[in-house]
Structure 1
Amino acid sequence: MHFPFQGNLFNVQFPLTEYSQNKLHFPRRPLSGLSGVVIGTAFAWNSAATRLTRTFGNNDCTVNRDTDSGWYVDAAACYFLGTSVGGLILGPVMRMIGYRWSMIACDVIVLIGWLLLSQVDWAPVWITRLAHGIGTGGLGLLTPTYIAHITDFRIRGRALVFHHAFVCFGVFYAHALSAIVTDAQLTGICMVWPVLHIIVASFLPESPLYAYICCDDAEKTKSAMRRINGVDYDVNTDYAELERYVFEYECLIGENKCRLVRKIIAIGVKLVVLQHTCGASAAIFHAKSVIGGFGLTTEVAGYSDERVYANTQTIITIVFATQVLLCLTTVELVEFWGRKFMLNASAIGMGLCLASMMLYQSFFPTTDICTSAIESDEWHKYVPIILVCIYLCSYSIGWGPIVALIYAEVVYFNVSTYRIFLTNSTIFDIYNKQILKHYVTAQKWYSSLIYASGQFVLFLVAYVFFDAKALLGFNKYVMWTYIASCVISIISVYFCVPETRALPLNRILHRQLSANYCTITRNQ
């Protein structure tokens, strides 16, 4: 196959993301931080609210349907379903109103959720959590994609991992404050972040890729480029490169359109499903229910729920603070060691922690590590909680932040652009174009549907089949399922996920078009 401009364009930066080393990074940094905190605070509310609802029982923070706080558990289901809905509808909505207005719309929905939560006496909690889910589900897909469009390919990985670091910070922020404020105060403090994000998003430029492909407006595209790089920036050269890139994209995919999209969809589905079947995301969501029973003070009878809660809060605060630090470390490592290495290191870390817990259970058979007394000579009872903490932290160096990065680079961009080229094709007659019109309509939903399917898997793992006592209660069926997911993820990443480190998006596409894809990408 002959690729036009092969000697030049494959060695230059993608014109939407790699303008110059002197570009202004104003849109990226506040966007990454504020969007991450908005997502993190909404995600963490359920676990943080276990303290505020005061529904402890038997010296643990676990909340279940059998207590008077059954609404809390059902609110979690509404949140997960909301993220699926938000991710599903984002694609078509974004193509109608653009990235900037889509961000503002998602923030407004999250803000409405917080406002309703502040009036919980008349607004059902499940409605507020549904609003939180829809808004954060949209932001979880929209923000990484937007960052990938406007960021230099040499630092694209860092920028997207930086975004996840602030998601972890939002989780830490909500949990830490829940220990010292009331529920109304926590709601008010969390409400500040979507307001700030709306203000920042109103000054952001539109994605140049959206302006070029969806609006077909040269002046709007150039204006977006100038807003990103400065008013004195000459966009004509990069705009010409963009036109060449678009032409080459169509030539590259040639007769391989369907095969390419099938391959991209397969990668996306594997990533979003395996991200949640390892169990870490569900455990983070229900952190106080998972770790709550292990208060580190149960060896002395008569301690109050407040004392047990204080120790649980200390453990969770340390874990989430460590996750933030690990994400910031991953910011530097992701462009040095690559995406695949970080994913596999994360899966190996989680798998080893879970396997070590099973090994511990074989040496010290017990199913009541959370409630039994810890004597002075039973130091080994601290081992499971340490392993659980390491397990949660391992998630934050790979399967937490890297999946969104690869999804933005590999799945969302190529599926969306493929849809545009089908629309602009001139080789079909009138009859075929009518058939193609319906096919293109289906294509609009591909990338959003993949993301939404991942959120639905999280709903199944964290709500339908979730067991708060599975880890520290040594539920062997659940733990073996998590271990199997880690093993499958290692194999899948090694053989069938492309390495996209420091690659312009056109080079990523070229690798996906390789004839022996699952063979040659493992060492690249």
Structure 2
Amino acid sequence: MVAGGSDEVALLCTARFIQGMSLGLGAVTAPLYNEEIADARVRGSLGVIYDLMLTVGILWVYTAGASLPYLWLNISSAFTAVLSAILLFFIPESPVHLLLKNKTKEAEDALRWLRSKKRDNYDPDQEIRSLQRLVDKTKVDLQSRSITSLNPASLSGVFTVKNFTGPTAKSFYIILSLLVLRQLGGINALTFYTVDIFKEAGSSMSPYVSTAVLGLVEFLMTLATFAFVDRLGRRTLLLLSSTLMGACLAGISLHGYLKVLGYDVTLVEWLPLVLLALYLCAFSVGFGPIPWFMMAELVPTESKGWVTGVVVTVNWLALFLVTQLFPGMVVSIGSAGTFLVYGVLNIVAAVFVFACVPETRGKTIEMIQVELGGKF
């Protein structure tokens, strides 16, 4: 509302800063809450919701932004934020958080609310016992590590030789790398400059219509991810996603080079739109949603606070740098060269996933931590 009703630069910057802080908090808490309330069998599908809602917002801004005045576009966005705040009063607290506070009865009630419409027909005892073991281990770890000088549940302890292969260190390196590679793949630079990209490509379709079409494609593919994220697994989708993204950007780069060299590309002027749509499809089924909920799946409970805070901060810093560098890269090496760089970085991401990222599909938190090197 503040941003929409003012043309003062200082006020606009303040409003954007507050929006950024709010988005950062949501990026930390939403995946964690999902991981703590979700059944292992559908944790991946529920984890997609966070990224799905982002695509809904992007689609709305793409479509409404072409016709609505700036003020009304901001008012409509503020309405959804207020609605979300109201709905939060009607959902339960995380059972894991309640158990950490020794509120076992409230945790059982929360699980009944979350697991069944007919709450009296659900017996939460088995799940409570599993969560209680996790919580008890977390409490023991926090107590024991608080009296040691090297604490892998803190940032300084992660970078010691002793803890280099521990579950906290492994999860930290994996998630940090995934989120940074996610940004280096060019998704936000391409999203922010979509209109300019289509203008330069010389597409006969209106750049604003093309942008709206891409927003719709991204939304539909993220929605489709519900169907197979818990069937195909995280690693498979990440590998498929990064490889296809790299191939699509290489194709866009080739189109650009041919145009610069003077070849007639009139018959394939539609190619950048199609390849960019395929790029967004590939992103939406893999590197879009999966790193966010894998962050909650991999990180040990006792380290979730600082790990998520650090990696999300680095993620937004990488986003800022990539989007700021994009115009300069286009000027210095051309749009074709820029797309080629992003394409190569997506292949680097595929290699990293193949070599370093574990599969978490259908596994409990305990099983994941055992595989990362922890002991229960």
TM-score (norm. length: structure 1): 0.61
Does the alignment pair 1:181 with 2:60? no
Paired with 2:134 and 2:19, the residues of 1 have a C-alpha distance of: 38
State the Cα distance separating 1:173 from its structure 2 match.
1.0
C-alpha spacing 1:181/1:359, structure 2 compared with 1 (3 Å): closer
Structure ID, larger Rg: 1
Superposition pairs of residues 28-47 of structure 1, within 5 angstroms: none
Counterpart position of 2:213: 318
Report Cα offsets for 1:381-431 as digits up to 9, x if no partner. Answer: 3323432332233211211111112112113xx1xx235xxxxxxxxxxxx
**CA contact 1:319–1:393 (8 Å) conserved in 2:** no
Counterpart position of 2:148: none
Paired with 2:95 and 2:261, the residues of 1 have a C-alpha distance of: 56
Counterpart position of 2:158: none
**CA contact 2:199–2:207 (8 Å) conserved in 1:** yes
Superposition pairs of residues 303-382 of structure 1, within 5 angstroms: 311-361=206-256, 364-366=258-260, 378-382=266-270
C-alpha spacing 1:312/1:480, structure 2 compared with 1 (3 Å): closer
**CA contact 1:279–1:482 (8 Å) conserved in 2:** yes
Counterpart position of 2:318: 457
Counterpart position of 1:387: 275
- How many residues are paired up? 352
Code of the aligned partner of 1:378? T
Code of the aligned partner of 1:379? L
- 2:131 aligned to which of 229, 242, 260: 242
State the Cα distance separating 1:234 from its structure 2 match.
4.2
Paired with 2:203 and 2:271, the residues of 1 have a C-alpha distance of: 12
State the Cα distance separating 1:514 from its structure 2 match.
7.9
State the Cα distance separating 1:236 from its structure 2 match.
4.0
Paired with 2:66 and 2:368, the residues of 1 have a C-alpha distance of: 46
Report Cα offsets for 1:42-65 as digits up to 9, x if no partner. Answer: xxxxxxxxxxxxxxxxxxxxxxxx
State the Cα distance separating 1:474 from its structure 2 match.
4.4
- 1:491 aligned to which of 351, 362, 374: 351
**Residue ranges of structure 2 left out of the alignment (5+ in a row):** 146-150, 153-162
Superposition pairs of residues 18-417 of structure 1, within 5 angstroms: 115-122=1-8, 124-213=11-100, 215-229=101-115, 232=120, 233-247=122-136, 258=163, 259-294=166-201, 296-297=203-204, 311-361=206-256, 364-366=258-260, 378-411=266-299, 414=300, 417=301
Report Cα offsets for 1:309-360 as digits up to 9, x if no partner. Answer: x811111111111111111221111111111111111111111112223434
Does the alignment pair 1:511 with 2:371? yes
Give the % identical residues. Answer: 24
**CA contact 2:252–2:336 (8 Å) conserved in 1:** no
State the Cα distance separating 1:365 from its structure 2 match.
4.6
Code of the aligned partner of 1:283? L
**CA contact 2:248–2:343 (8 Å) conserved in 1:** no
Paired with 2:269 and 2:248, the residues of 1 have a C-alpha distance of: 15
Paired with 2:256 and 2:64, the residues of 1 have a C-alpha distance of: 35
User: Counterpart of 1:445 in 2: which secondary structure?
Assistant: helix
Paired with 1:174 and 1:368, the residues of 2 have a C-alpha distance of: 36
State the Cα distance separating 1:205 from its structure 2 match.
0.8
Counterpart position of 1:77: none
Paired with 1:157 and 1:132, the residues of 2 have a C-alpha distance of: 27
Counterpart position of 1:482: 342
C-alpha spacing 1:494/1:249, structure 2 compared with 1 (3 Å): farther
Report Cα offsets for 1:198-233 as digits up to 9, x if no partner. Answer: 1110111111111222x2333443343344346535
**Residue ranges of structure 1 left out of the alignment (5+ in a row):** 1-114, 298-309, 370-374, 420-442, 516-524
**CA contact 2:295–2:308 (8 Å) conserved in 1:** no
Please tell me the root mean square deviation across aligned C-alpha atoms, in Å: 3.1
State the Cα distance separating 1:450 from its structure 2 match.
1.5
Counterpart position of 1:40: none
Counterpart position of 1:502: 362
User: Counterpart of 1:117 in 2: which secondary structure?
Assistant: coil
Paired with 1:236 and 1:134, the residues of 2 have a C-alpha distance of: 38
**CA contact 1:410–1:508 (8 Å) conserved in 2:** yes
C-alpha spacing 1:157/1:379, structure 2 compared with 1 (3 Å): same
**CA contact 2:41–2:362 (8 Å) conserved in 1:** yes
Counterpart position of 2:157: none
TM-score (norm. length: structure 2): 0.83
Paired with 2:223 and 2:91, the residues of 1 have a C-alpha distance of: 24
Paired with 2:275 and 2:93, the residues of 1 have a C-alpha distance of: 44
C-alpha spacing 1:247/1:126, structure 2 compared with 1 (3 Å): closer
**CA contact 1:276–1:454 (8 Å) conserved in 2:** yes
User: Counterpart of 1:124 in 2: which secondary structure?
Assistant: helix
Paired with 2:270 and 2:309, the residues of 1 have a C-alpha distance of: 42
Paired with 1:197 and 1:445, the residues of 2 have a C-alpha distance of: 26
**CA contact 2:256–2:335 (8 Å) conserved in 1:** no
Paired with 1:367 and 1:139, the residues of 2 have a C-alpha distance of: 46
Code of the aligned partner of 2:18? A
Report Cα offsets for 1:272-312 as digits up to 9, x if no partner. Answer: 11010010122113322333444634xxxxxxxxxxxx811
**CA contact 1:161–1:401 (8 Å) conserved in 2:** yes
C-alpha spacing 1:224/1:385, structure 2 compared with 1 (3 Å): closer
